[in-house]
Structure 1
Amino acid sequence: MTGPTDLVLLHAPWVILATTSLWLMAATRRITAAIGRNAYSFGNTRRQRLAQVLFRTAVVGGLLAAAAHATGGPGMLFRPIDGQGSGLRLLGIVVALAGQGLTVYAQGHMGRRWRVGVPDIAPDRLVTTGLFEVSRNPTFLGMLAIAAGLAVAVPSPLMIACALAFWLACELQVRDEEGFLEGAFGQAYRDYKHAVRRWI
């Protein structure tokens, strides 16, 4: 593999995942400083602990899978499944890049209301404008697009397992967040939930 397409297929997956992860960590740190309390706060329930473990495992495993693919790492877990053409794999990278853009834009639109996990204290208001008029979870939707795109771009057993773990973590987390927001905002959230789909 030496051509430009081959280099993109080798390196774009880990670059996309690494830059998105670093950007989200920096954003969470920035919001923590802005609100004066930790914006990263998974609840102390079994489901929240499971979601947190699945998120972390999916990201670390995805980085490992992408890096091993780029460096020709050995083993069946890291080797892409045969039969995937470069066109389909490039499409996966395009989907992952679109997901990255969606994630960054949606998180930025939330501003000071951005949280990771279920916080102890609710934000001062619901975000229901912009992309949030189309989906209740556009940030997660963007992240899921990244996971799905990377699983197509690097269709190794490990990357596919990480994408599935990330999807399961999102499903658990979104339901916990919905319960939290309904408790915090009552009828306003129920009306929003009724008017806007969970995903799209």
Structure 2
Amino acid sequence: MIVLLICMVIFRVLSLKQQGIEAIEFGKKDPKDYFIPPFAVFYLYLILANAFDLPTIIHQNLFENQTMAWIGVLFCLMSLSLFLWALISFKKSFRVGLAENSSQGLITQGAFAVSRNPIYVSFAAMLIGQFLIFPSWILLIYIFAGILTFHRQVLKEENFLAIQYGDEFEQYCGKVNRYL
């Protein structure tokens, strides 16, 4: 499922590039963003290692429960659905990183009418779902670290949007919750 999520981002970035839109702004405004990819690659390896029985940190399942694993699958499916809805809702405004992009205005429709940050909600749901499928202590740590990292990014993005859109963004915040 995480591979599907990555493929969706790559497809979206490439389709925007064909339209002359540079969607990768990652690290341009905050070089600390470059600390994230090594942890993301390690996480991806942990998921693949668990799925395909590859060498990894000692398998230490915190619990074994088929029902919980299926609930995890549902979380992952919901996460992918929300992520796809958010990508579609973004239209041409999708960016990886912070970028001034006022040509389409503030996106408040679709998934953004339900959550100001549906992509981060979908990422958190994916982490929770994968933990329920592969319940190891390291993935539990990733849930907490990931959610803290997402929250840090959300605060940066919302501050950026408040500066870029002013009262319009403030009114939007009054109508739609930050997460759910």
TM-score by structure 1 length?
0.80
In the TM superposition, what whole-angstrom CA distance separates every residue of 1:111-148 from its partner, at most 9, and x where no partner exists?
A: 10111111144453111122222211112211211111
Contact 2:26 2:97 in 1 (8 A): yes
Partners of 1:18 and 1:81 in 2: how far apart?
23
Distance 1:120 1:133, change over 3 A: closer
Higher relative contact order (CA 8 A, sep 6+): 1
Q: What root-mean-square deviation, in Å, do the aligned CA atoms of Structure 1 and Structure 2 show?
A: 2.1
Match of 1:40 among 24, 36, 40: 24
Counterpart of 1:107 in structure 2: which amino acid?
L
Corresponding residue number in structure 1 for 2:32? 50
Shift of 1:70: 2.3
Tell me whether 1:60 sits opposite 2:60 in the alignment: no
Where do 5+ consecutive residues of structure 1 fail to align? 1-15
Tell me how far 1:39 sits from its aligned partner.
1.2
Unaligned runs of 5+ in 2: none
2:166 pairs with 1:193? no
* Amino acid in the other structure paired with 2:138: L
Which of 66, 69, 87 matches 1:86? 66
CA distance in 1: counterparts of 2:53 and 2:17, whole angstroms: 39
Residues 138-183 of structure 1, C-alpha deviation per residue, up to 9 Å, x if partnerless?
Answer: 1221121111111111112333333333222211111111111111
User: d(CA) in 1 for partners of 2:109 and 2:28?
Assistant: 30
- In the superposition, relative to structure 1, how do residues 169 and 25 fare at CA in structure 2: closer, same or farther (>3 Å)? farther
Q: Which amino acid aligns with 2:48?
A: A
* Paired letter, 2:176: V
CA–CA distance in structure 2, aligned partners of residues 105 and 94 of structure 1: 16
The SS at the match of 2:98 is coil
Matches within 5 A, 1:158-177: 158-177=138-157
Partner Cα separation in structure 2 for residue 49 and residue 126 of structure 1? 25
CA contact (8 A) 1:57 1:162 kept: no
Count matched residues.
180
Distance in 2, Cα, partners of 1:121 & 1:129: 16
Written as runs of structure 1 = structure 2, the 5 A alignment for 1:88-103 is 88-103=68-83
- Equivalent AA in structure 2 for residue 28 of structure 1: V
**Matching residue of 2:15:** 30
Percent identical across equivalent pairs? 23
Q: From 58, 71, 84, give the equivalent of 2:52.
A: 71
- Supply the AA of the counterpart residue of 2:46: A
